[in-house]
Structure 1
């Protein structure tokens, strides 16, 4: 088998590179916005410009000016994501159907915690310090191990957790600037089946063709030799779908990023906030790849001697994207407040290409992901029903970075629309409780993909999402 053949099989069929590079999430691709129950209730409109939401410690430190004194806030969101695959067609390289079911519901219910601490200090409290714990990226899909799309993916699990420290300075009551630095811990795990029957058969064909060409034979003679070798391998029990193995990969890394922001209030009733979150470059150096290879395949490929399909380590650079947000909040009167947000996420530079370097004899692999930059836009409102009760609502447009051309089973992602509702209850001057709910409206994303061993999978997904969040804010 040639080096280029192994590059294709090990990176795409086995999926190691994908495991070392990404998982997927609720929100555009695997980006999470669920860091505030109060924000969720208005579809995150006014996410960094509204009054008294401590999540700004993480998203725009300049807006800590809008917080009332010392406070601690804890949020918990529950994301219910469903992904049911509906098969149109699934074939092996020979044209025979791939066995297996539709994989069950690949989604799950995932908790997303967040916590914030804020304290003002300095002359007239014109400086602010904050701490935050958030999960800005994360996702998990998990199919039945023997499902019809097992060669493309079984489990994908990604988690990113940020621990940040923030500082801001109020130039005056109407202008403030802030910055934060955070440490991000990233963990990734991926599993999928490997069609070693197809790999072994293809290897026999390429070896035979290569020998003929090396001996001065013609391309026609090489093709004939390859066909004969393939038939012999099939007779020996090596043909597509005859010998499934399994691969699992995991990796983790710590990296540092930052957030910069400015908040401007042209009047006491209007806030305009601008913020930028940096990209975060994770250099995974200790990724672990494990293979379960049928015994007859290992002997035929001589995997140990060749240094292929053996348990090994790998390294890759994974860049999580930068984003910029414009947020506006306007208090219409004592009861009504309206707000809006626009966020642009720079997926394209981060996911144009990822190169994986294996510690074994498997060649390096460069993968193209095809992600595009995305826009998230939302409008929301709050209505103060009484001194203790506040009602919220919002709508949003959440663009997906993937397309029909690049969508796969690991991220059946699609552009979605949000409808959000929320409730705030303030039983005392020191304590506030908030609740938020969002339903996501989506179309049926389709996939039409081919594995490195030339098995194909076509179909559509019935995807859905609901998010429920609650928080407590305590001032002291």
Structure 2
């Protein structure tokens, strides 16, 4: 086997082992805003400046003064994400270059999307003179994404399964300078888990090596696979300020830090066909063997400006702008394997994104509140860097919601959002020269419910 062929195979294994550093994932990409049924009903307009939503414990502690006394709030959102691939051709490498060989077998992979629950919970306790100080505890899921295709689908060399979850447990404190100005801060510990699987085309790599054809290797006839897993705990923080120039207007500024995850105990498991394993073991001992690995992954920082204005006793309007700093965190990630597998720098090339929304609430009666909102959610991916693991695209939101307050102590909220998207396209070349081209039919719906109890 030539050095250049082994370099291509190594690049493939290292590249797909990116789950140690994250893989490509979802929101923009894999960022989740679904932490409040009340917020979802107005497309998260006024997310940190509206009255009466305990999710501010996690997103902007300074706005805890907008909560009415001691309370506990539990939310759950059901996210339905669909991703149906429509292939426009996949071919192995041929005599004249990538994609000029025989067609790759396999279907379109089925619906790679998911239906997944996203829980959240918040506790708020005011204390001090005139309750001018506030303490809060939160449990949220700020990042998460899953795609899974059929194992033998046409794009199997680019990805089969991607699964990421980040769960935050936080504590927050705020101080009210006066009824119109407050500042707050919070800290949280974040638990990150990652799993990534894919197929490896050893047939192509070994066919190109000296004697490979005589041994019977052909593109696609010696598929292997891999599974990469990693997890880590890390800390982050939030700060914010909330200002009320009038009793009917709130302006909130908040910042969530980036979170640096140093994955030191990642695990890569390779499944190599016996015939290929014998050749690989002789030519490159210590490669494509089960091993540990380490990498540093930074989940991005974000800043939010949120404004809410109460027009009268019935109508309230609100708006949000959030900027997420993907580019410094997801430009390039380097993986360091414990085996002889060479280190590799993975270019993600994510761009910074902006999320904007406007919404409204209408108090239909003393017990019923109607909500609505629209949003523009920019994707960090682009046509030249989009892949099968996260077929993400910029989307538009349309949201509606309902609040029901049957008593002074209990409030129920429901929210629904439908996502409108275009058809994202991909045009990929794997490390062994196979190509994949096509478009996705993607869609999304979110349904959320919550209960808030004052005690």
Aligned to 1:168: 174
The superposition leaves residues 349-378 of structure 1 with CA deviations (integer Å, 9 ceiling, x where unpaired) of: 001110000000011100111100000000
Alpha carbons 1:303, 1:309 under 8 Å: kept: no
- Residue 8 of structure 1 deviates from its aligned partner by 4.7
| Alignment RMSD (CA, Å) | 1.4
Mapped to 2, the partners of 1:24 and 1:473 lie a distance apart of: 36
Aligned to 2:238: 259
Alpha carbons 2:25, 2:389 under 8 Å: kept: no
Q: Report the 3-state secondary structure (helix = DSSP H, G, I; strand = E; otherwise coil) of the residue aligned with 1:314.
A: strand
- Residue 6 of structure 1 deviates from its aligned partner by 4.7
Mapped to 2, the partners of 1:176 and 1:329 lie a distance apart of: 16
Within the alignment, does 1:187 sit opposite 2:193 as a pair? Answer: yes
Within the alignment, does 1:112 sit opposite 2:113 as a pair? Answer: no
Aligned to 1:211: none
Quick check: 22-31 or 107-116, which moved more? Answer: 22-31
Matches within 5 A, 1:269-308: 269-302=248-281, 306-308=285-287
Alpha carbons 1:7, 1:362 under 8 Å: kept: no
Mapped to 1, the partners of 2:278 and 2:442 lie a distance apart of: 42
Alpha carbons 2:13, 2:288 under 8 Å: kept: no
Mapped to 2, the partners of 1:3 and 1:176 lie a distance apart of: 63
- Gap regions ≥5 residues in structure 1: 205-228
Q: Report the 3-state secondary structure (helix = DSSP H, G, I; strand = E; otherwise coil) of the residue aligned with 1:291.
A: strand
Alpha carbons 2:138, 2:171 under 8 Å: kept: yes
- Residue 459 of structure 1 deviates from its aligned partner by 0.1
Aligned to 1:359: 338
Matches within 5 A, 1:132-281: 132-202=138-208, 204=209, 229=210, 232-281=211-260
Mapped to 1, the partners of 2:354 and 2:282 lie a distance apart of: 46
Aligned to 2:374: 395
Whichever of the two has the greater Rg, that structure is 1
Query: Matched residue pairs, number?
Result: 449
Aligned to 1:87: 87
Within the alignment, does 1:59 sit opposite 2:65 as a pair? Answer: no
Q: Report the 3-state secondary structure (helix = DSSP H, G, I; strand = E; otherwise coil) of the residue aligned with 1:429.
A: coil
Aligned to 1:222: none
Q: Report the 3-state secondary structure (helix = DSSP H, G, I; strand = E; otherwise coil) of the residue aligned with 1:306.
A: coil
Q: Report the 3-state secondary structure (helix = DSSP H, G, I; strand = E; otherwise coil) of the residue aligned with 2:212.
A: helix
Aligned to 1:96: 102
Residues 416 and 148 of structure 1, relative CA distance in 2, 3 Å threshold: same
The superposition leaves residues 116-141 of structure 1 with CA deviations (integer Å, 9 ceiling, x where unpaired) of: 00000001100000000000000000
Aligned to 2:130: 124
Q: TM-score, with normalisation over the residues of structure 1?
A: 0.92
Mapped to 2, the partners of 1:132 and 1:233 lie a distance apart of: 58
- Residue 93 of structure 1 deviates from its aligned partner by 0.7
Aligned to 1:32: 32
Within the alignment, does 1:408 sit opposite 2:387 as a pair? Answer: yes
Residues 375 and 236 of structure 1, relative CA distance in 2, 3 Å threshold: same
Aligned to 2:433: 454
Aligned to 1:311: 290
Alpha carbons 1:6, 1:362 under 8 Å: kept: no
Mapped to 2, the partners of 1:390 and 1:83 lie a distance apart of: 34
- Residue 12 of structure 1 deviates from its aligned partner by 3.5
Q: Report the 3-state secondary structure (helix = DSSP H, G, I; strand = E; otherwise coil) of the residue aligned with 1:348.
A: helix
Residues 459 and 266 of structure 1, relative CA distance in 2, 3 Å threshold: same
The structure with more helix, counted as a fraction of residues: 1
The superposition leaves residues 16-55 of structure 1 with CA deviations (integer Å, 9 ceiling, x where unpaired) of: 4421222566630000000000000000000000000000
Residues 161 and 303 of structure 1, relative CA distance in 2, 3 Å threshold: farther
Q: Report the 3-state secondary structure (helix = DSSP H, G, I; strand = E; otherwise coil) of the residue aligned with 1:233.
A: coil
Mapped to 1, the partners of 2:169 and 2:5 lie a distance apart of: 42
Residues 118 and 305 of structure 1, relative CA distance in 2, 3 Å threshold: same
Q: TM-score, with normalisation over the residues of structure 2?
A: 0.96
Alpha carbons 2:16, 2:198 under 8 Å: kept: no
